[in-house]
Chains A and B, each alone.
Chain A
Amino acid sequence: MLSPTGNTGDAVFRILMLIAALLMVAIVVAMVIALATDSMLSIRQFGFRFLTSQRWDPIKGEFGALPFIYGTVASSLIALLISVPFSLGIAVFLVEQAPRYIARPVGFLVELLAAIPSVVYGLWGIFVLAPFLRQYVEPALAKWFGWLPFFRGSITGIGLLTGGIILAIMVTPIISAVVRDVLAAVPGSQREAALALGATKWEMIRVVLVNGAPGIAGAVILGLGRALGETMAVTMVIGNRPEISLSLFEPSYTIASAIANEFTEATGDLYVSALVELGLILFLVTFIVNGIARLLVWNVTRGTGGVGKAA
């Protein structure tokens, strides 16, 4: 490992690079240890109950993570449900159908959505999106789909649906960029074979999509990872209420929002420890999610020159 060439310059170089790599590993490990240590107090106090209790009461010292876990997962799921079809559509259009002179600038524009700071998304959400949803979209949903448990309750424009939509907008550029890479990596021979057999354009695209399916799944999970951790934009429009409700109009609360809202002010060791434990749970969830994503994406784009643009 030191130096297969026997050259000292090589040995030094390799060791330096190895040190850089190990430094990264050390930092991540340190993060996990730091999170685990600071949440020890809360883990000891609540144990498994932390994951199932719905009560979050800093004054009385009762903490339960379930509403936050629900809010985080639900908002991310809504974001994906909205974003994935759109992202696939965008990626397919830009890779398979648009001529080059449209695809490059439009692709650039879509990626620009990722460059908007999340604080700005939050502000836009409060002042533009929420009133719009409250006045036009949510009443329409309540009228047509009110028989479903998802569209009941008072309509304020602030709630799980708004949070999900903002997340969807934020996540779309990531998913579409990665899917574009994945689709571009599918060998041209697949396309030619389908067309030679008489497929229409859409049927050929289906073949390409199936071919890139693991990579697409990876892109989706990447977007999910980003959605799980998004803080600022969500906390401004989701209502911040630690309660579980099936209705999308009702307010909700995500883990990242809770930490952002309460960490600087949390006084009292148990309170801080509970918040850190929330962070640990979120870390572990993103860890798992990203692990799956990367494994899938690498399978498809390994060595084919797809530039990683996803943040």
Chain B
Amino acid sequence: MSVSTRSFQLVAWIAVLILGFVALACNGGGSGSVSLQGAGASFPNPLYQKWLSEYGHHQPNVKIDYQSIGSGGGIKQLKEQTVDFGASDAPMKDEDLKSAPGEILHIPTVLGAVVITYNLQGVTQPLRFSPEVITDIFLGKIKKWNDPKIAADNPGVTLPGGDITVVHRSDSSGTSAVFTDYLSKVSPEWKEKVGAGTSPSWPIGLGGKGNEGVTGQVKNTPNTIGYVELAYAVQNKLPVAQVKNSSGSYITPSIDTVVAAASASAANTPDDLRVSITNAAGPQAYPISSYTYILVYKNQKDAVKGKVLVDFLWWGIHDGEGFAKALQYAPLPDDIVKRAEGKINSITANGAALRK
């Protein structure tokens, strides 16, 4: 077979394949199912994947997709209207809400905890930290593991003498936002020097990409300290520190202590449900907890899609909560569920409420 014949055969095969895919493209989308696209926070991603899979069994002709690109990404794509719903750990700021093309509602879905994790050889029991110590470590003021301030929180524990290596997030992250929000509340110095946000300018430390990057660095490097979502610490069997809350007790992050934080703050939660529950008041509250939200437009452009969306959200805050504990997420307290119901009921399309 000559060279040119073979080449033309190749070209012909490729052309056939392309035509096949063009046919696929023209047929797609008309099969009677509704599809929704969501994007946002990576923290609740495992739970949302579970929700979508379960909901898919419940309603087979609904295809909902969720991509975890980060809280800020979710907000951004929602504002650009390239996705149908967004997801974020930290609630949107006022300026963001104002600059959006429509009114955006915050629907809380589950709760999570940001935990302090560390790699310290020879220390087997969980370390305890008070807020001032955490702040000073991340500010770079406490440099060594056997600093008296750390020892004061941990009587009876022999701390090694090495330097502390701080690991933080290099990418913009809702986890960072929650953690720096907590630090800003407990330390005026932190609030002034660094502030709270998804991309703080960390005074010291290494940047890891994603929760996984921080986990990887802490796990593989001795004498490190970092902050990650609870699920990451549990899955990777990393030690988790006990943090002193505003009532003075050292609290281990767990589902119960996180729910305690939410319940204690329920009374103070404003009407739009945008609330920070870090440093919550309750005696058993874990101080670095947060809601995670799904963000939707109050006025949906597409009534069909909007109906699917509100039905899914309703299922999520009721049936979906049942899957939370198994994946280390804390379900919403009941009074918050009631208020979220109200928000979902207020979503409209073309002036008519979608949930009748």
Contacts and interface: CB of A to CB of B under 8 A. Distances in A.
A58 interface: yes
Secondary structure at the A interface, as helix, strand, loop or mixed, is: loop
A121 interface: no
B172 A266 contact: yes
A251 B207 contact: yes
Interface stretch (A13-21, A37-45, A206-214, A233-241): A233-241
B16 to A, nearest CB: 24
Interface in B152-199: 163, 165, 170-173, 194-199
Given A60-B195, A157-B221, A262-B171, A267 B205 contact: no
A154 interface: yes
B206 A265 contact: no
A163 to B, nearest CB: 12
B87 to A, nearest CB: 13
Kindly name the residue among B69, B205, B217 whose own CB sees the greatest number of chain A CB atoms within 10 A. B217
B76 interface: yes
Given A55-B201, A158-B206, A265-B70, A126 B220 contact: yes
B165 A56 contact: no
A40 B181 CA distance: 32
Contact of B200 (A59, A157, A240, A266): A59
A264 B221 contact: no
B208 interface: yes
Contacts of A265: 70-73, 76, 171-173, 198-199
B201 A267 contact: no
B339 interface: no
B200 A235 contact: no
Given A60-B195, A240-B206, A267-B76, A261 B170 contact: yes
A182 interface: no
A241 B194 CA distance: 15
A264 B220 contact: no
Given A154-B165, A265-B172, A265-B198, A235 B209 contact: yes
A239 B76 contact: no
B76 A130 contact: no
B213 interface: yes
A264 B96 contact: no
Contacts, number: 98
A59 B170 contact: no
A55 B73 CA distance: 23
A309 B196 CA distance: 49
Contact of A261 (B76, B95, B165, B209): B209
Contacts of B172: 58, 261-262, 264-266
A127 interface: yes
Given A261-B170, A261-B172, A59 B197 contact: yes
Contacts of A262: 171-172, 199
Given A157-B221, A264-B69, A265-B171, A127 B216 contact: yes
A192 interface: no
B195 A59 contact: yes
B288 interface: no
B75 interface: yes
A131 interface: yes
A12 B176 CA distance: 59
Contact of B201 (A56, A126, A130): A56
Contacts of B198: 58, 265, 267
A264 B76 contact: yes
A209 B41 CA distance: 54
A264 B40 CA distance: 10
A267 B220 contact: no
A10 interface: no
Contacts of B195: 59-60
Nearest to B92: A267
Contacts of A131: 220
B206 A239 contact: yes
B205 A241 contact: yes
A57 interface: yes
Interface in B329-354: none
A267 B93 CA distance: 10
A235 B171 CA distance: 10
B220 A157 contact: yes
A273 B213 CA distance: 27
Interface in B9-62: none
A134 B221 contact: yes
B69 A158 contact: no
Interface string B75-119: 110000000000000000001100000000000000000000000
26 contacts: A55-B201, A57-B200, A58-B200, A59-B195, A59-B196, A126-B217, A126-B220, A131-B220, A235-B170, A239-B206, A239-B207, A240-B208, A261-B170, A261-B171, A261-B209, A262-B199, A264-B72, A264-B73, A264-B76, A265-B70, A265-B172, A265-B198, A266-B199, A267-B72, A267-B76, A268-B95
Given A157-B221, A236-B209, A266-B72, 10 more contacts: A59-B201, A131-B220, A158-B221, A240-B171, A240-B208, A241-B205, A241-B207, A251-B207, A261-B172, A264-B73
Q: Which 9 A-B pairs have the closest CB atoms?
A: A265-B72, A240-B170, A240-B207, A265-B172, A264-B73, A57-B201, A261-B171, A59-B197, A58-B199
